[in-house]
């Protein structure tokens, strides 16, 4: 068993490592938007499903010996395509469809390797069950998930902080060669051992092939936790707290439930976890309905993590109880892959365009409750088998119905409490009104999850006054106020929000905003007045800011404001040495680069200072504080200029001196960055 276990563990580890490695390499090429990560995930899910299809087809059509020889040949061919580092020819020119370009790049650079890695767990379990009498193949599935979990945890802690992107690709490629050798040796061992008949040690003792209902239940039990994984992650990272790496927690719990449920002894106890499922579903439903404003963040994270883990244990535990005779092992894993893909497609692709708010979360919770009833009445070992009229089941069904009604109320509340709720690929945006429009203190707010994207007075006499992070005393406010009287000013801004910075504009000025989310542009123009009523000329460039600026002629900005770092998933490609070189090529000699680094969880000031020092630029920190009325928020801006004389202007007097950089801070480049190093 040792050779099979080592091969499966290494393959699972590499399977989860290659995803962030290759995505990290191509991120600066395609703008670093969420679309890049999503396109990568779609590719990996599709190839994983193809890998499981290959295993299912080959074990049915080929003899074990011929199958082993075929697989050894594919392993050798895939090793010849290493390393996985993409060549410069794959960089986009600017006119192609980025999604298609990303898919083609991934297929060429990691397609063959990822395909073979994805086949390893079900294939080697099949080989192992054929090679020895009394083999326990399903325990290897738990080991596979342990390898995946270890890769997930180790990347941000061990790999990213110490290796550049190119070195990550080389190390991974060497590790893949080791995997190919191990897998080929396992195939060779399988061909040398006598085949034993597969005793019916699991599931149906007759060893009959699974029927349609069984296959459908496998798919549903796999799809529900997959959908919940993405739904819980979206909710926690957008509506609870924008904490970096928070997305790792649900995924670790998801993999941990697989490990516990498919371990030899099995840690799943149906009576215990079905009992725990009631408070788990009820607690999540309560917070979705009541909101989270008055609840401590740590308590919320604990409740949702524990409840999500219980849901995963129920679904994966019931899957483990239904694992079939080993001769149908490939059918089982194929249905798990189909279910996982369906859950991901529902939340990641369908829901953003079908629902205004995160309705997929309540739907997934209700589905989990329904599945709990279904497993009780369809399992021959259950005392509720086919007893649809049992009082216990009637009570459970009533509970699921009440849960549906309660969650429906939560959905209505989340929509009706806002003036506008819109959603697209990039997330859900909400416009909230506080006070009556004509009141002196009334204002309108744009929200993206827990992130405030800007506010504006609704009273006509005040509506162009800059608010929140962009008040006159803020860093960007002071930078813009260095303009000479009577001279027009040219200002560039990465990140539109509601267009607050346009509140500083005068007649003759020119403001150019760069925004990747078309919905933000639409709402800024239809619900706010900054960019539609400003006396300056305003252009809004739709698309990734860095890529857009690279394609344009030299802009000669007086001020360039970078305002994209308030959330957890900051666009790192906008905060590298190469990006800053681009910015200064588009600034006037006396121009100012204003970088908004206000972030609750990341300390980005040292990163900006380090890049500036490497380029021979001067930096100046501007800290502003919340005013008594709460209209101006506290903010931190780092201003960068080609000469420190720029900061001798009167608007900077009394704020201190230009900051000396600490060279121990690592230099972020397109090839290296680490969020872990800047966690507060």
CATH number, residue 650: 3.40.50.150
Task: Specify the DSSP class assigned to residue 473.
Answer: T
Residues 172 and 221 in one domain: no
Is residue 78 in some structural domain?
yes
Predicted pLDDT of residue 198: 47
CA distance 194 to 133: 10
Which tops the pLDDT comparison, 204 or 673? 673
In a domain, 375, yes or no: yes
CB 429 within 8 A of CB 447: yes
Q: Is residue 439 part of a domain?
A: no
Greater confidence (190 vs 526) lies with 526
Q: Picking from 314-323, 350-359, 388-397, 401-410, which range would have the lowest pLDDT averaged per residue?
A: 388-397
Q: Write down the pTM of the prediction.
A: 0.83
- Lowest-pLDDT choice from 383-392, 542-551, 601-610: 383-392
Strands 443-448, 427-434: pairing kind: antiparallel
Residue 210's pLDDT band, with cuts at 50, 70 and 90, is confident
Residues comprising the chain, all counted:
680
Domain identity same for 48 and 151: yes
Q: What is the pLDDT of residue 194?
A: 46
Beta-sheet pairing, 427-434 with 635-641:
unpaired
C-alpha span between 309 and 100 (Å, rounded): 36
Whether residue 515 is contained in a domain is answered as yes
Instruction: Give the residue among 423, 421, 441 at the shortest CA–CA distance from 432.
Output: 421
Are 380 and 520 members of one domain?
no
Q: What percent of the chain has pLDDT over 90?
A: 47
Same domain, 232 and 257: yes
CB distance 592 to 482 below 8 Å? yes
557 — phi, psi (to 5°)?
-70, 145
Q: What is the pLDDT of residues 326-339, one digit of tens each?
A: 778 889 999 999 99
- Among 437-441, 461-465, 572-576, which stretch is predicted with the lowest mean pLDDT? 437-441
pLDDT tens readout for residues 93-144: 655 567 788 889 999 999 999 999 999 999 988 888 776 554 567 788 888 9
507: in domain: yes
- What is the reported pLDDT for 205? 47
Contact status, residue 561 vs residue 501, Cβ threshold 8 Å: yes
pLDDT at 295 over 90: no
Overall domain count for the chain:
3
Cα separation, 114 vs 532, whole angstroms = 49
Is residue 447 situated within a structural domain? no
pLDDT tens per residue across span 462-476:
889 999 999 999 999
Asked which of 147-151, 157-161, 239-243, 411-415 is least confident by mean pLDDT, the reply is 239-243
pLDDT at 307: 96
Of the pLDDT bands very low, low, confident and very high (cuts 50, 70, 90), residue 195 is: low
172 contact partners, CB below 8 Å, separation of at least 6: 14, 17, 18, 21, 84
Contact (CB, 8 A) for 423 and 356: yes
Q: Are residues 560 and 572 in the same domain?
A: yes
Whole-number percent of the chain with pLDDT over 70: 90
What is the pLDDT, as a whole number, of residue 204?
45
Q: How many CB atoms lie within 10 A of CB 650?
A: 9
Greater model confidence, 571 or 611: 611
Residue 328 counted as domain residue = yes
Give yes or no: residues 490 and 384 share one domain.
Answer: no
* Pair 405, 482 in one domain: no
358 and 233 part of one domain: yes
Distance between CA 248 and CA 151 in Å, rounded?
Answer: 11
pLDDT at 407: 81
Check whether residue 306 and residue 403 sit in a common domain. yes
Q: What's the CATH number where 312 sits?
A: 1.20.1250
Residue 117, domain extent: 1-199
444 domain residue, yes or no:
no
Query: Residue 493 forms beta bridges with which residues?
Result: 513, 561
Note whether 184 and 211 are same-domain residues.
Answer: no
pLDDT the model gives residue 394 = 77
Mean of pLDDT over the chain: 86
What six digits make up the tokens of 506?
A: 């005068």
Residues 198-219: what's their mean pLDDT? 68
Res 525: pLDDT: 95
Answer yes or no: are the C-beta atoms of 456 and 533 closer than 8 Å.
Answer: no
- The domain boundary, picked from 199, 233, 254, lies at 199
Classify 454 in phi/psi space as left (phi over 0), alpha (psi -120 to 50) or beta. Answer: left
Specify the pLDDT at position 133: 52
As a whole number of angstroms, the distance between CA 352 and CA 234 comes to 11
Specify the CATH number for the domain of residue 86. Answer: 1.20.1250.20
pLDDT in tens, 341-391: 899 888 887 888 888 778 889 999 999 999 998 988 888 777 766 666 677
Clarify whether residues 117 and 211 are in a common domain: no
Per the CB < 8 A criterion, the answer to whether 84 and 18 are in contact is yes
> Do 406 and 470 share a structural domain?
no
Q: pLDDT value at position 615?
A: 95
């Amino acid at each position: 068993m040792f050779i099979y276990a080592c091969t499966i563990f290494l393959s699972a580890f590499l399977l989860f490592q290659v995803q962030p490695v290759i995505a990290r390499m191509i991120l600066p090429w395609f703008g670093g938007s969420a679309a890049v990560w999503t396109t990568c995930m779609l590719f990996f899910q599709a190839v994983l499903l193809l890998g499981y299809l290959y295993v299912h087809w080959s074990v049915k059509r080929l003899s074990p010996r011929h199958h082993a020889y075929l697989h050894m040949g594919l392993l050798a061919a895939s090793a010849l395509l290493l390393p996985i580092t993409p060549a410069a020819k794959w960089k986009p020119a600017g006119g192609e469809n980025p999604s298609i370009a990303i898919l083609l790049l991934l297929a060429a650079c990691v397609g063959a390797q990822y395909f073979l890695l994805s086949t390893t767990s079900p294939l080697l379990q099949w080989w192992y069950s054929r090679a020895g009498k009394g083999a326990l193949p399903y325990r290897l599935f738990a080991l596979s998930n342990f390898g995946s979990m270890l890769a997930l945890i180790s990347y941000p802690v061990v790999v990213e902080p110490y290796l550049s992107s190119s070195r990550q690709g080389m190390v991974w490629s060497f590790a893949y060669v080791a995997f190919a050798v191990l897998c080929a040796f396992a195939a060779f061992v399988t061909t040398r051992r006598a085949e034993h008949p597969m005793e019916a040690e699991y599931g149906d003792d007759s060893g009959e092939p699974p029927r349609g209902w069984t296959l459908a239940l496998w798919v549903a039990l796999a799809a529900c936790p997959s959908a919940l994984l993405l739904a819980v992650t979206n909710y926690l990272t957008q509506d609870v707290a924008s904490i970096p790496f928070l997305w790792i927690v649900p995924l670790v719990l998801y993999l941990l439930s697989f490990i516990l449920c498919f371990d030899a002894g099995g840690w799943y106890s149906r009576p215990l976890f079905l009992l725990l499922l009631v408070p788990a579903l009820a607690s999540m439903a309560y917070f979705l309905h009541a909101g989270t404003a008055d609840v401590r963040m740590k308590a919320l994270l604990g409740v949702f993590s524990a409840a999500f883990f219980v849901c995963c244990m129920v679904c994966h535990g019931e899957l483990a109880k239904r694992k079939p005779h080993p001769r149908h092992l490939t059918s089982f894993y194929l249905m798990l892959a189909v279910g996982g893909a369906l859950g991901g497609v529902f939340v990641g692709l369908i829901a953003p365009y079908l629902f205004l708010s995160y309705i997929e979360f309540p739907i997934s919770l209700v589905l989990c409750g329904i599945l709990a009833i279904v497993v009780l009445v369809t399992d021959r070992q259950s005392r509720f088998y086919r007893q649809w009229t049992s009082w216990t089941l009637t009570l459970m069904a009533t509970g699921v119905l009440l849960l549906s009604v309660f969650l429906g109320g939560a959905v209505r509340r989340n929509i009706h409490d806002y003036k506008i709720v819109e959603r697209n690929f990039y997330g859900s945006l909400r416009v909230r009104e506080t006070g009556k429009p004509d009141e002196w203190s009334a204002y309108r707010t744009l929200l993206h999850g827990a992130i405030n994207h800007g506010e504006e007075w609704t009273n006509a006499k005040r509506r162009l006054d800059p608010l929140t992070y962009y008040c006159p005393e803020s860093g960007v406010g002071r930078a813009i106020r260095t303009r000479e009287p009577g001279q027009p000013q040219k200002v560039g801004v990465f990140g539109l929000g509601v267009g607050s910075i346009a509140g500083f504009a005068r007649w003759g000025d020119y403001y150019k905003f760069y925004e990747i989310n078309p919905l933000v542009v639409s709402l800024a123009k239809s619900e706010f007045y900054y960019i539609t009523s400003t006396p300056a000329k305003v252009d809004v460039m739709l698309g990734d800011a860095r890529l857009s600026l690279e394609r344009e002629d030299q802009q000669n900005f007086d001020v360039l404001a970078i305002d994209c770092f308030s959330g957890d998933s900051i666009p790192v490609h906008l905060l590298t040495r190469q990006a800053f070189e681009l910015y200064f090529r588009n600034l006037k000699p006396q121009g100012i680069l204003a970088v908004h680094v206000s972030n609750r969880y990341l300390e980005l000031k040292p990163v900006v200072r380090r890049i500036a020092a490497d380029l021979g630029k001067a930096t100046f920190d501007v800290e502003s504080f919340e005013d008594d009325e709460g209209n101006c928020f506290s903010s931190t801006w780092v201003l960068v200029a080609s000469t420190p004389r720029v900061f001798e202007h009167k608007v900077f007097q009394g704020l201190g001196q230009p900051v000396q950089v600490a060279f121990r801070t690592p230099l972020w480049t397109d090839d290296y960055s680490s969020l872990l190093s800047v966690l507060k």
